[in-house]
Amino acid sequence: MKSKNMKYLKIVSLASLFMCCTLNLIAKEPNQQVIKFGRQNELVINLDNGLFTIKNKGTEVVVDASASYSSNGRKYGSKDYHSRKLITNKKQDNLGLSTLYTLISDGKDMPTMHQHFICYPDQEFILIQLEIVGHDLSSNYMAPLISNKAALGEGHDVRTLFVPFDNDTFIKYNAKPLSTQLNKSAEVGAIYDNDSRNGLLLGSIDHMDWKTGIESAGVGKSIQQLAIFGGFSDVSITRDSMAHGSLKGDKIASPRMFIGYFSDWRDGMEQYAKITRKLSPPYHSAWKGATPVGWNSWGVIKEHLTYDKAISVVDFFDKQLPAFRNDDGTAYIDLDSFWDNMVPGGFSGDFSKLKDFVNYCKERNLEPGVYWAPFTDWGFKDTNERKAEGSDYKFSEMWTRTKNGYHDLDGGRALDPTHPGTQKRIAYIIEKLKNCGFKMIKIDFLSHAAIESTRFYDSTITTGMQAYKLGMECLSDHLANTMLVYAAISPSMATAPYAHMRRIACDAWKSIEDTEYTLNSVNYGWWQTYLYDYIDADHLVFENENQGTNRARLISGLITGPVVLGDDYSIQASWQEEVKKWLQLDAVKALIKSGKAFQPIEGNTGEKTTQIFVRQDEDCTYLAVFNYQKGAAKITLDANRIGLSVKKKHLLTELLSNEQLTLQHKLTVAFKQEGAYIYRISNK
């Protein structure tokens, strides 16, 4: 009996021991590294499975994110690796001292995967980057972050923002309601709740090798698909008719990606732009002059540009708009396309009339400007074998080759930026324009230089963005900091190192619909004011419109930054009297001085635009209110939503009329017709 009891006790003891071991295994803590950054943020890296989570104030914002990439035709992800280690290094860059955490993952017969996490002690974001190491690697897809779960906290009007790659074909930003339909955005994306303004931002810092895509989808306030990756190609967005080019080598790295959670998505977008400018600084010298103002011929004159018309416009600015000048005491008179009407013999002809125009401007303390599209061939339909200016190369040798043949858009065929003929042509024409004495150049159709190609002339160049970098550096080197550089149609992010000023949207003219279209890009792209020296609403046209429409058109320019007029001022017209009055007001010139764009109040307008914009200056707050509908309207101003104290009364002075209103909690602004008002509110 005793032996049976002993045997029973031994069995019970062994069973208990087994259960304890099993429970210990189940309860085992994951092998995690918790890294703090900013004020109340954490990065949690799981060394067992390679996944990472980002937290804000203890709440998971991005959960169990993985990394993925393609190499030599195969796709790999975090789950494919079984051996991992985390190493730490200190790093110094233009933002200061940071800590670089690198998760190194090894697997059999696979490239080594390096996941880099750069954390700053005083910044509310992290930078992540994916790198692969091996031999003879090739990749056209690298995603440092893929997650099936992300959150904003409480959300009632959650939006996922589409940001265009460039500003061509009248493309629009779109603040879409978060849904199961996948949203694709170029270079930067934001998912935010418009009510609380809480937002998650993801964007690329580097734009020299890759085009970046951001994908998001979800239900209600739950983000169920989220990814940011290098290798984005979409004919409706990036204009590419083929897949993204592949990078090659023993080491291949994705762009550095900005990831941050912000209590106000608008502040996050501005932070993203500022950080990008610091970490990818201008290739040329930063602009040291005053905010540019002036005129461009494309608004109305267009192909009818002549020497006499240009001179008459100079006379108008000299005699009838003498006070419409920037803080340097000047304005720019810019000749757009068809300035070659003044050059007998074409680009190889007689430039003496252009020199006369330049001298005429300078004698009146006005700065002469010119225009060129360096990466397009407008005569490609000509069956003759045409020789390009500046070399013996034919245009047909210089065309960018794509999977479908060539890249034709906007009536122009793309030129390969790496081709010596393209580069010699740039050198030749820029030298001609410099010799004339121009002080500003508007460069256009730059997106043609960023197209993916089956084969670039320079075989070391394998992606569209690498070609763009080479072409823009060639252009900048020949300009040699002699002019104000103004980009028109162009990639939004990648152009910043090469231009002082960029047009925020595609061509727009004078109607209230044109104004609303332009302001859609200000509504969701205003933050580029911190990426460039200036962003601009382009030519402001007023002819033959009513006062309300003209007020809206002018104010759309004022809240974007510089003011560039576009009417035909070589003729006299009655509507000019009001415009002359507005443009020479001291209050208007004071507003223009900083050149910074206004923030939107609302971010839930889809492809439309908010009615209210605001800018906080040191001594005052500026407020712009728009009515886009053709007819009477009432718009309510909410002091709290605008960012004004509800404890005090605010005196609003309208800049163009000097009329005054008082706002405390809420105020209704009445419109009799389409139009806009712009107010100054003292901060004292």
Domain range enclosing 37: 32-279
Of the candidates 279, 308, 326, which is a domain's last residue?
279
> Could you tell me if residue 372 is inside a domain?
no
pLDDT: is 2 or 478 the higher one?
478
Q: What is the pLDDT of residues 230-243, one digit of tens each?
A: 999 999 999 999 99
pLDDT of residue 28: 52
> Is the pLDDT reported for residue 396 higher than 90?
yes
pLDDT of residue 627: 98
Nearest alpha carbon to residue 343 among 316, 370, 376 = 370
Q: What is the mean pLDDT of residues 386-407?
A: 96
Residues 26 and 145 placed together within one structural domain of the fold: no
Nearest alpha carbon to residue 287 among 276, 275, 299, 277 = 277
Of the candidates 279, 299, 331, which is a domain's last residue?
279
Percentage of the chain surpassing pLDDT 70?
Answer: 96
Using pLDDT thresholds of 50, 70 and 90, give the confidence band for residue 684: confident
> Could you tell me if residue 43 is inside a domain?
yes
Percentage of the chain surpassing pLDDT 90?
Answer: 90
pLDDT of residue 348: 86
Residues 45 and 84 placed together within one structural domain of the fold: yes
pLDDT of residue 384: 85
Question: How far from the centroid of its chain's Cα atoms is residue 497's Cα?
Answer: 12
Average pLDDT value over all residues in the chain: 94
> Cα–Cα distance between 505 and 526 in angstroms, integer?
11
Using CB atoms within 10 Å of the CB of residue 429, give its burial: 0 to 12 exposed, 13 to 18 middle, 19+ buried: middle
Residues 44 and 120 placed together within one structural domain of the fold: yes
Radius of gyration of the chain (CA): 29
Residues 74 and 10 placed together within one structural domain of the fold: no
Total domains present in the chain: 3
DSSP string, 463-486: SHHHHHHHHHHHHHHHHTT-SEEE
pLDDT of residue 683: 83
Residues 155 and 267 placed together within one structural domain of the fold: yes
Q: What is the mean pLDDT of residues 172-196?
A: 97
- Phi/psi for 27 (5° steps) reads -85, 0
CATH code of the domain in which 274 resides: 2.70.98.10
> Is the pLDDT reported for residue 99 higher than 80?
yes
Distance set, CA 39 to CA 95, 99, 268 (Å): 16, 15, 15
Residues 17 and 69 placed together within one structural domain of the fold: no
Residues 132 and 214 placed together within one structural domain of the fold: yes
Q: What is the mean pLDDT of residues 670-677?
A: 97
Residues 37 and 182 placed together within one structural domain of the fold: yes
> Could you tell me if residue 366 is inside a domain?
no
Using pLDDT thresholds of 50, 70 and 90, give the confidence band for residue 197: very high
**pTM of this prediction?**
0.93
> Could you tell me if residue 88 is inside a domain?
yes
Distance set, CA 228 to CA 67, 73, 78, 197 (Å): 10, 20, 15, 22
Residues 139 and 187 placed together within one structural domain of the fold: yes
Q: What is the mean pLDDT of residues 327-338?
A: 97
- Cα within 13 Å of Cα(303), Cβ side: 0
> Could you tell me if residue 452 is inside a domain?
no
Q: What is the mean pLDDT of residues 520-526?
A: 98
> Could you tell me if residue 174 is inside a domain?
yes
CATH code of the domain in which 647 resides: 2.60.40.1180
Residues 11 and 134 placed together within one structural domain of the fold: no
Residues 2 and 116 placed together within one structural domain of the fold: no
pLDDT: is 384 or 670 the higher one?
670
Q: What is the mean pLDDT of residues 305-318?
A: 98
Residues 14 and 40 placed together within one structural domain of the fold: no
> Is the pLDDT reported for residue 436 higher than 80?
yes
> Cα–Cα distance between 515 and 560 in angstroms, integer?
12
> Could you tell me if residue 210 is inside a domain?
yes
> Could you tell me if residue 273 is inside a domain?
yes
